Structure 1
Amino acid sequence: MPNFKTHLTALEQSASLYPSRPVFRVPLLRPQSQEILEWQEISYSQFLADVEHFAKFWTQRLTADGVPPRSVVGVWLGGMTYLDAVHIYSVARAGYIPQFFSLKLPNPSVIFELLAKSDGKAIIFDAAFANVGDSTPIPVYVSLDARSEPVADIALPPVAPDVNGSDTLMIFHTSGSTSGRPKLVPCSYAWWQECLRKSAQSVVPRNPERQDVTTWMGSMCHIGQTFMFSGFLQHGSCTIQISSQAFPSEELVDMITRCHLNRLVQFPTYLTTHIRTSRRDPKVLQMLQDLDEIFYSGLMLSSDDEEWIIRHGINIRNCFGSTECGAMLLSTPGKSVPLVPIEGTSYGFVPINSSLDGQHQNANARTLELVILSDSVDCPDSSLRGPDGHYHTGDLFFELPGGGYVSRGRDDDWIKSENSLRCDTKAIEDNVRATCADLVSECIVVGNGRPSPTLFVEAANPDANQERLKKDIIRRTRHFHSRRYLHERITSTNFILVVPRDTLPRTASKGNVRRRAVEEAFKADLDRIYGISS
């Protein structure tokens, strides 16, 4: 059987090529003020040593509790720190199959349901969930800094084991809930090897004579950061551990000045902060112009930000991807459009009212759905594919006259939150209609690019007290929302807006409420709502 390339083989190779290079820069904070005193360097050789040390530590703990190698082990962490990265890599290095959960899914019942679906045998979780181990059917462990913990001289499994390409290497989850919980996204060895090729192709350094220095994008318990970090790892780059996804422009300036940041990687919602700062601060504008690249993904930039970037010669690059496929489309360096498929893939762009018969179809000016064909090595697990064997993304595009594509949203009821995680709006609306039919005559959920969704309702009783109505809706839908990701939840009356009957924009033919039109018509109200929340 072949030996497949993984993130572990990439780490071992880069630690051999660049042992003293920093792989991470980690902030050391002043205890009281949380001011960043310095950015500590962690070398490739140290990261490898820590991963192997933690792998031995977890091998001892897991085997002592009867969890054999190649078992699925849940890893429920924030995914935003160096020690999180060490845990994530070490569980795989120990020969287990990590199943990743982020802290954005805080319901233990849902976590254990998902673990049961994959026959998970144990879980390692963040100390924030200290009580999760009460009456659990499997061994549970709190993650800890095991660097000073003694470990036996255990022989770890080969970095590149003899496996079938279809064997599972790790498991992620869809970033939105379907039927009350996310879906499993198994990642095979062959699929991940292709993702490593794509990730390396996506982040080639502009200047091979110097080390690329970049930023953490999001949680390593989601595919986005795991994909990006694996690409940077292969090029011997350095990743800075940010204070939060929404780090301020002052921190960006500090990273450029003290860490020599040259490639900013961020979701557009957070990138907007720095663009806004650059409009009034020439120093920040110059720093953005001097970056080799600003790499963004998940959502489109606003037209205002796009115009500012183009007019001021800021080097931008757009990436389109998903949990199920990793990165799929890239723009050329220096531009946000058009998007083109990553080299070596096999995709179809199919008119949304047409069926795919297994052949590539010629795209035209109509709206086209991106379809990952079954012969593409990055086509996801069979459990996620359609009856025709292909993976239908649901993502829509227009083809530009000169070639390439521009994103036009989705063909379903999903929206994306500010950090590019998905939310099934129809599921929320259906729950409101089922539990509040006597209170609500019509409703719709919006919030694309926002931290969380907002519910618009037309009251069944025009004389109803609005605050009481909103509280009743929250009370009746509380159990439904308790099982969802944090970014999918509506748990505060601040995020319910009551409007008079027949106020919400509707289609002329069927009278359906138009989601995008509601977003546009009530933009000022939404800005106010999210301003209150922040």
Structure 2
Amino acid sequence: MSDSYKTHLTVLHEVASLHPTATAFRVPRLDPTTEEILEWDAITFEQFASDVELFARYWGSQLQSMNIPLRSVIGVWIGGMAYVDCLHIYAVARAGYIPQLFSLRLPNPDMIYELLARSNGKAIIYDLSYENLVASSPVPIYPAIDARTCRVPDISLPPLRSLVSGSDTLMIFHTSGSTSGSPKLVPLTYSWWDHAIAKGWQVMKPKNHHNKERQDVTVWMGSMCHIGQTFMFVGTIQHASCTVQYTKQAFSSEELLDMIERCGLTRINQFPSFTAAHLRGSRHNPKLLQKLQQLDEIFISGLPLTPEDEQWVYANRIRITNCYGSTEGTAMMLSDYDDRIGDVRPLRPIPGTSYTFIPISSEDEDEYHNPNMRLLELVILSSSPDCPHPSLRSKVDGHFHTGDLFMELAPGKYVFRGRNDDWIKTENSLRCDTKAIEDNVRATCDDLVDDCIVVGNARPSPTLFVEPKTDIAPESLKKEILRRTRHFHSRRYMHERIVSSDFIIIVPPRTLPRTATKGNIRRRAIEESFKMQLDRIYGTQS
């Protein structure tokens, strides 16, 4: 890699050289019987870097034995939630290959093969639990075993820095939602990733309000098979900060308190749907509230807090930073805790980026049912160093149109207001194409369904509302819709699927709220009108 381009591997090498004994990870050791956390084991940066080298020699020997050339794309289909997963991802790149990262949220092997074929991938490294799913793989397959448990050949690895072009691909991710039945490839180039690393340094800079000498300690945010955790992690390690690996993404407040007390947790990186549970608990748990107040920062991304949670946070001086970002652009806008306009903490673009905000048409504003709301779509200009790969940009103007809408509250200060299309963001900020689901229902159930709409913003998965054509019993109608749409949903991410009749709601014809101009069903209005029913369906009613 050229000296002019930083990568996560060069960052790790530098940090391990400068801070070898600093703790890079705290990993839970569980009681095999009770699953209780016995201890949080510490892994130093020196050990982390050594483990990456070990795993790189393992994967280098495995792939070279099959004569797979360096710089080939290798599919990595794993959970991305554990320390060993991080080793696999870093090691494939360190061995001289291009990892194409697949989340276990896409459990259909046919989709994996199709996406790998688009990148001309040469092999798949798979999670051990998927042994039976990869039997028909068209490329060589390798189980993601822990290389620390086996004998690894002492092969030489490519230079840590070698000559590359800024436009060369370093890693491949995928959009978090399916377009036309499939996610899109999101290639990361060396020059793009170099700038993302600089942004990560800025975003994850320790706050250290109380003790400048104390190590910054944060918590895992999500799967490293998605860009969010990969970006946050490379930002974290640049400051020789520690990352705590949770037992599950929606970790309990009890586990949070344990992290604070035994791991010295100083900040949380989390999706707001999960943070909300801790905020609710702090309303009647003084100890939890006190610990939240003492954190340097709670960093949330993907979705805003509810107005009620915003009020609670502000009234109790809990330091929360809101981040707007996407798979294609990583972090793009941040709030400042001390900057407040009314009840809102606005977002501001991260310095060093080039964005524009384009007004949307009045017809689109009709969905929001507020003629005084001037909505602007955020567009990443092609001149911005974080503008994604050319394959993802508009063919018309060469820029990247996010589809995300904002209001400008003051010059250069914005608040997120949803999307300018038929996509929604689910509980962990992954995207779901609602129109694709609706179109499939209309195509397969035209004789049964008069109209339909999909909702589920900030929920774990979507829910389908149906206005029927016939007098068929609601339960029978639900089952028939499920039967006819089963194949369609089998090809989608887990968070995009409707696989239970519990998530289909039958309502009388022409009773769903509609826009005044075009007569379209209003998605946002349904989210609000049916909130209590949706809370019951998702089991979140408090």
TM tier relative to shorter chain: over 0.9
Query: Deviation of residue 384 (structure 1)?
Result: 0.3
Query: Deviation of residue 533 (structure 1)?
Result: 12
Whether contact under 8 Å (1:451, 1:487) holds in the other structure is: yes
Query: Deviation of residue 241 (structure 1)?
Result: 0.4
**Aligned with residue 225 of structure 1, among 222, 225, 229:** 229
SS in 2 for 1:434: helix
- The corresponding residue for 1:407 is 416
5+ residue gaps, structure 2, are: 363-371
SS in 1 for 2:417: strand
- The corresponding residue for 1:195 is 196
- The corresponding residue for 1:144 is 145
SS in 2 for 1:132: helix
SS in 1 for 2:410: coil
Distance across 2 between alignment mates of 1:135 and 1:78: 21
Q: For structure 1, which segment, 63-72 or 524-533, has the greater mean C-alpha deviation from structure 2 after superposition?
A: 524-533
- The corresponding residue for 1:31 is 32
**Aligned with residue 449 of structure 1, among 440, 458, 481:** 458
5+ residue gaps, structure 1, are: 355-363
Query: Deviation of residue 502 (structure 1)?
Result: 1.2
CA 1:143–1:365: 2 relative to 1, 3 Å: same
- The corresponding residue for 2:369 is none
Q: Are 2:333 and 1:329 aligned?
A: yes
Distance across 2 between alignment mates of 1:112 and 1:365: 45
* Matched residue type, 1:149: C
SS in 1 for 2:46: helix
- The corresponding residue for 2:365 is none
Correspondence list, 1:49-448, <5 A? 49-207=50-208, 208-333=212-337, 337-353=345-361, 366-386=374-394, 387-401=396-410, 403-448=412-457
Whether contact under 8 Å (1:365, 1:399) holds in the other structure is: no
Using the aligned pairs only, state the percent identity. 64
* Pairs aligned (count): 524
Distance across 2 between alignment mates of 1:248 and 1:88: 28
Distance across 2 between alignment mates of 1:293 and 1:200: 15
Give deviations 1:362-383, integer Å, cap 9, x for gaps. xx97211111001111100000
Distance across 1 between alignment mates of 2:235 and 2:518: 47
Give deviations 1:160-183, integer Å, cap 9, x for gaps. 221000000000000000111100
Distance across 1 between alignment mates of 2:509 and 2:193: 51
Give deviations 1:415-459, integer Å, cap 9, x for gaps. 000000000000000000000001110100000000000000011
SS in 1 for 2:112: helix
Distance across 1 between alignment mates of 2:2 and 2:74: 24
SS in 2 for 1:136: coil
Give deviations 1:31-90, integer Å, cap 9, x for gaps. 111000010000100000000000000011111112111000000010000000000100
Give deviations 1:452-502, integer Å, cap 9, x for gaps. 0000001111x2111110000000000000000000000100000000111
Whether contact under 8 Å (1:338, 1:403) holds in the other structure is: no
SS in 1 for 2:187: strand
Give deviations 1:270-300, integer Å, cap 9, x for gaps. 0011001100000000000000000000001
Whether contact under 8 Å (2:31, 2:37) holds in the other structure is: yes
SS in 2 for 1:31: coil
SS in 2 for 1:366: coil
* Matched residue type, 1:170: M
CA 1:497–1:31: 2 relative to 1, 3 Å: same
Q: TM-score, normalised by structure 2?
A: 0.95
Give deviations 1:115-149, integer Å, cap 9, x for gaps. 00000000101011111332322110110111132
Whether contact under 8 Å (1:417, 1:449) holds in the other structure is: yes
